[in-house]
Amino acid sequence: MASKGNKRTPLYDFHVELGAKIVAFADYAMPVQYPTGILTEHNHTRDAAGLFDVSHMGQVTIRGADPITALETLVPADIRSLPIGGMRYTMLTNEQGGILDDLIVTRLADGIGVIVNAACKDADLAHLRAQLGSRCDVELDDDRALLALQGPKAAVILDRLVPGVAELSFMTVRAFDVAGSVWRISRSGYTGEDGFEISLPGGEAANFARRLLEQPDVAPIGLGARDSLRLEAGLCLYGHDIDETTTPVEAGLRWTIGKRRRDEANFPGAPVVLAQISQGPKRRRIGIRPDGPAPAREGTVIEEESGKTVGQITSGGFGPAVGGPVAMGYVESSMAEEGCPLGLVVRGKRREAHVIKLPFVPHKYIK
């Protein structure tokens, strides 16, 4: 199968061997689906365990005399309160409070680990080095792969192969010695299911992926089902639901900004973000349920009852576990209350919808 995208993860040949449909994503050749199809892959992850290749994402390590203080100059999260092995979701912000990228930050014994989005990897690395390079070393661990095993059976399955991982709690990471190799395994993921992300040397990834697929209840899952899973879980996709024009408060992510950071007010864009926290933003990210069977896609105009445009959909599609179409988008704050009626302009025709509380499918994290 011909490659699309200039870059390949260590699992590229593995995906081709499994008959994956390969597409270009963030300049990587990635599997969008396997022969069973997106719907089957989605449901399998919700029911059992799905194996994802997320090696295209950036694994960055920041080391220095005080990497925590350094990183807190760029993000609004309270990193200092994390114990070693603790993880936190946050974002790089700009001076207008906009989101440059969303991140997972881990406090390591010898520094800070940061997972960045594939499409933002180069820009994030340049930003981190420009802002922190005088006091920290910022390294991209591009020799490592990253696998995700997600679903209600993930813990039992992974613990068979790497004993002890089931003892991890949500948003924690630990180093494991696997046949003399150091793997970092976290209980985290972006599907709303219990699951794990496994950082391991790139040369060991394909063999371990095959071992996982030998286990009952594990199936390979592509980007298509990853997108529908995160949408049902009400989780943002960078470049769609959040970007440099959206703030954490507008995006419903104010919970990521701890009290100490609000009091200190020393992260980029703090005046804008804190004003929105105290006064409320002019617009908000919401969950949307179209009343009919037709899905509404990204870019769909959202209207109020009078026909006035009040926002736009940023992610939308069919929710297999919901049994119907689901979407997220931004509307004027006055229209953000649960149950509020909306109109969606789909192919020039208005279709009725309403605001629904996120997530569409309850999260099943093990805390």
- Tell me the pLDDT tens digit for each residue of 92-127: 999 999 999 999 999 999 999 999 999 999 999 999
What's the CATH code of the domain at 311?
2.40.30.110
- Which among 193, 211, 232 is the end of a domain? 232
Strand order in 195-201's β-sheet?
Answer: 173-178, 181-186, 195-201, 144-150, 49-53, 218-220
Answer yes or no: do 213 and 358 share one domain.
no
Assess whether pLDDT exceeds 90 at residue 274. Answer: yes
Answer yes or no: do 38 and 154 share one domain.
yes
Confidence of residue 140 (pLDDT cuts 50, 70, 90): very high
Per the domain annotation, does 347 fall within a domain? Answer: yes
Task: Kindly give the residue spans of alpha helices, DSSP state H, lying in 185-258.
Answer: 202-213, 223-232
- Tell which residue, 262, 287, 286, has the closest CA to residue 274: 262
Assess whether pLDDT exceeds 90 at residue 171. Answer: yes
Mean pLDDT value of segment 227-254: 98
Q: CA-CA distance, 340 to 343, in Å (whole number)?
A: 10
Per the domain annotation, does 116 fall within a domain? Answer: no
- pLDDT of res. 271: 98
Answer yes or no: do 148 and 49 share one domain.
yes
Mean pLDDT value of segment 351-359: 98
Secondary structure E strands in 194-279:
195-201, 218-220
Per the domain annotation, does 49 fall within a domain? Answer: yes
How many CA atoms, within 13 angstroms, populate the side-chain half-sphere of residue 364?
20
Per the domain annotation, does 228 fall within a domain? Answer: yes
CB distance 97 to 247 below 8 Å: yes
- Domain interval for residue 38: 12-56+143-232
Average model confidence (pLDDT) across the chain: 97
Tokens, residue 352:
């009725």
Q: CA-CA distance, 243 to 123, in Å (whole number)?
A: 13
φ and ψ at residue 305, rounded to 5 degrees? -60, -30
Assess whether pLDDT exceeds 90 at residue 3. Answer: no
Answer yes or no: do 25 and 160 share one domain.
yes
In sequence order, the 6+-apart residues with CB closer than 8 A to the CB of 122 are none
Answer yes or no: do 217 and 313 share one domain.
no
Per the domain annotation, does 154 fall within a domain? Answer: yes
Q: CA-CA distance, 177 to 154, in Å (whole number)?
A: 20
What total number of domains does the chain contain?
Answer: 2
Mean pLDDT value of segment 275-279: 98
What Rg value do the Cα atoms of the chain yield, rounded? 21
Q: Which string of b and e fits 203-222 if b means at least 16 CB within 10 Å?
A: ebbbebbeebeebeebbbbb
Per the domain annotation, does 303 fall within a domain? Answer: yes
- Tell which residue, 208, 142, 210, 212, has the closest CA to residue 179: 208
Per the domain annotation, does 117 fall within a domain? Answer: no
Per the domain annotation, does 46 fall within a domain? Answer: yes
Q: CA-CA distance, 267 to 297, in Å (whole number)?
A: 34
- Tell me the pLDDT tens digit for each residue of 17-54: 999 999 999 999 999 999 999 999 999 999 999 999 99
CB distance 243 to 91 below 8 Å: no
φ and ψ at residue 51, rounded to 5 degrees? -105, 125
- Residue identified by tokens 């996709």 is 237
Q: CA-CA distance, 314 to 301, in Å (whole number)?
A: 10
Mean pLDDT value of segment 65-70: 97
Q: What is the pTM of this model?
A: 0.96
- Tell me the pLDDT tens digit for each residue of 192-219: 999 999 999 999 999 999 999 999 999 9
Q: Residue 238 CB: number of other CB atoms within 10 A?
A: 18
Torsion, Cα of 103, 208, 8, 38 (10° steps): -80
10 Å CB burial of residue 49 (0-12, 13-18, 19+) is: buried
Secondary structure class of 264 (helix, strand, coil): helix
- pLDDT of res. 2: 40
Between β-strands 58-64 and 136-140, what pairing exists: parallel, antiparallel or unpaired? antiparallel
Answer yes or no: do 214 and 315 share one domain.
no
Answer yes or no: do 225 and 151 share one domain.
yes
Answer yes or no: do 300 and 227 share one domain.
no
- pLDDT of res. 1: 37
